[in-house]
Chain A
Amino acid sequence: MIAIQQAVSTPDPLSVPANAPEHCPGTESEFAGKADACAGCANQETCASGAAREPDPALPFVRERMSTVKRKILVLSGKGGVGKSTFTAQLGWAFAADETLQTGIMDVDICGPSIPTILGIASEQVHASSSGWSPVYVQDNLGVMSVGFMLPSSKDAVMWRGPKKNGLISQFLKDVDWGELDYLVIDTPPGTSDEHLSVVTYLKESGIDGAVVITTPQEVALQDVRREIDFCRKVGIPVIGLVENMSGFVCPNCKNESQIFKPSTGGGRRLAQDTSVDFLGSVPLDPRIGKSADYGVSFLDEYPESPASIAYLDIIDSKSHFPCIEGTRG
């Protein structure tokens, strides 16, 4: 009764218009404009004419813009609140610590953009120039784009359905003046839905180098992460590896470690084994990580000696993980 909508078979994110009827076959399908559900739909004529089956006009522009980006890395998790944005930010900061590298961070979490706050640039705005929207720069070699920069106030909710979100994501990829980048790190919202499909379809031609999947140790999170890995396989994104966040907490008073989120089913390590994905490492829970994120400062710079920083750097520096992509892409 439940059919999984194949991401690969819907290359056009606008394939299902906002005003489509419930059982819209998708504007690209051969039944477009001809299925029962199409009767009475405002787009029926356009669909039936076959015009909608043309590739998305944005694709060549995305390809053009992305041709100067060397590596594109997705940060995914399935479950919310496990530390995707925090990891994305640390990764961005760590890459940018090398002055010879240019790094970009793209936040496609349209309904809950946290990246601007975590990077301490929440009050910035996007400027448009002749070559497109300029990213907001945290430092000379770290540019950021997020819907958070476009809202009049942080209270404003973006109440958008899928097609509008897709439109914005395509703009992030084709209209932002990213320039020459060594890394583009893409932070995603939880789940496996419109945002993920859009990123994947738009970057299909340019190629996504891989995805880092974040989890926390408890089974409720692992369940969602298992689905996310399944998603990566379905759409053909290589999984760089799995990071277990919030594993263990060291009491600042007695220095004993306890498990807040118990790995009742073996945690991230076991999941990595079961799904034959590389386990990149685990990062302990440290209240200062959240605090740094709230104040928009780099945790790695503030507390370089903390076990969590060391764990982060171990994961990021383990060059065996990130350049292996380099090798495969020649």
Chain B
Amino acid sequence: MASPEDTPVGRRLRLVKHIIIVCSGKGGVGKSSVSTQLALSLRSSSPTARVGILDVDLTGPSIPRMLGLDGHPVHQSSDGWVPVYADGSEARLACMSVGFLLKRKEDSVVWRGPKKNAMIRQFLSDVRWGELDYLVIDTPPGTSDEHLSLVEHMAPVHSRISAVIVTTPQAVALLDAMKCLSFTRATSIPLLGLIENMSGYVCPCCGEISNVFSTGGGEEMARREGLRFLGSLPVDTELVSLLDATEPDDQEANVMLAEGGSRHSFRLLERYEKTSTAPLFRAIVEKAMTALPALEGRE
């Protein structure tokens, strides 16, 4: 009999050391922004780190926009789909999203479960990720088809999967985060920890901190459930604008496309490291990474 690793997905992800799923239960709490920051921080964690980011939010892909890769096409090679490299020729930050496959950005992907399932399987088995230290997977809200498909298809590499839960502090979001936690427990995916996002907003005018979406709820939940609390992130308008970046004008875009997007993306990382969130996030990543080796020993 074939070994359990011997499925197309298992073979393709053989050279991926760690797979980190970012999930939240509730929408709009910052999964994609956390995934993007996680990928950027992991990439700069060592000069040779190779990171992949896979966006399985099929009906609302945001990762291309956040990495400034809107409108890039995906190329097919004899060895599968070539991911889009956010850092151009350095090729240490690979990205794949259904957003790259849409002809127009306003096209909606109206798919039921089985088609989403097939797309996810293809993303996992047909993308030429190559050797990766980390594969960050951004998920849609909820605990449904996409999540079940991910877990199912990645069964051969289950021992390398871990998850990060993102929440905002208000009760409505925590409720959904609990559901997400139940999901990781039901599927026995170990949790690296919990991140509380949008915790407080600093008024640019007077410096007063407002708790726009309340505060402390995530930390409280982590304590109650015995989870590692990775840290809280305030609302950072600078970061919002950076990840939301307006499209470069056409001429610049053409140059960028010709150069494989390198110019723009370097700028993204440089500019990201200047935001006030970057150091906070670095601490979060360090904390999350201390949890990784502990997972190494398990089956």
Contact = CB atoms under 8 A, between A and B. Distances in A.
Interface of A: 1-2, 4-7, 10, 13, 15-16, 20, 22-24, 78-82, 85, 109-112, 114, 117-118, 154-163, 165, 189-194, 196-197, 216, 218-221, 223-224, 226-231, 234-235, 249, 251-254, 256, 258-262, 264-265, 285, 287, 290-291, 293-294
B176 A191 contact: no
A16 B109 contact: no
Contacts of B65: 219-220, 223
Interface in B94-137: 98, 101-102, 105-118, 121
Contacts of B172: 85, 114, 117-118, 290, 293-294
B60 A254 contact: no
Given A81-B27, A254-B206, A4 B237 contact: no
Interface in B159-199: 168, 170-173, 175-176, 178-183, 186
Given A162-B112, A227-B59, A251-B208, A80 B27 contact: yes
Given A249-B212, A264-B245, A161 B110 contact: no
A23 B118 contact: yes
B179 to A, nearest CB: 4
A227 B114 contact: no
B110 A165 contact: no
B144 A111 contact: yes
B211 interface: yes
A196 B108 CA distance: 12
B108 A16 contact: no
Contact of B113 (A16, A196, A228): A16
B27 A262 contact: no
A193 B116 contact: yes
**Residue of B107, B113, B148 contacting most chain A CB atoms (<10 Å):** B113
A55 B100 CA distance: 36
B26 interface: yes
B101 A2 contact: yes
Interface in B10-59: 25-29, 32, 57-59
B105 A223 contact: yes
B21 to A, nearest CB: 15
Q: How large is the interface on B (under 10, 10 to 19, 20 to 34, 35 or more residues)?
A: 35 or more
Nearest to B27: A80
B140 A190 contact: yes
B289 interface: no
Nearest to B63: A220
A291 B214 CA distance: 7
Contact of B211 (A5, A189, A287): A287
B243 interface: yes
B144 A161 contact: yes
B108 A227 contact: yes
Given A197-B110, A287-B212, A259 B237 contact: yes
Contacts of A7: 110
B245 A159 contact: no
Contacts of B118: 22-23
A251 B206 contact: yes
11 contacts: A4-B109, A80-B28, A117-B172, A118-B172, A155-B181, A190-B27, A192-B108, A194-B113, A235-B110, A290-B172, A294-B172
B23 to A, nearest CB: 11
Nearest to A109: B142
A191 B140 contact: yes
Contact of A223 (B26, B58, B62, B211): B62
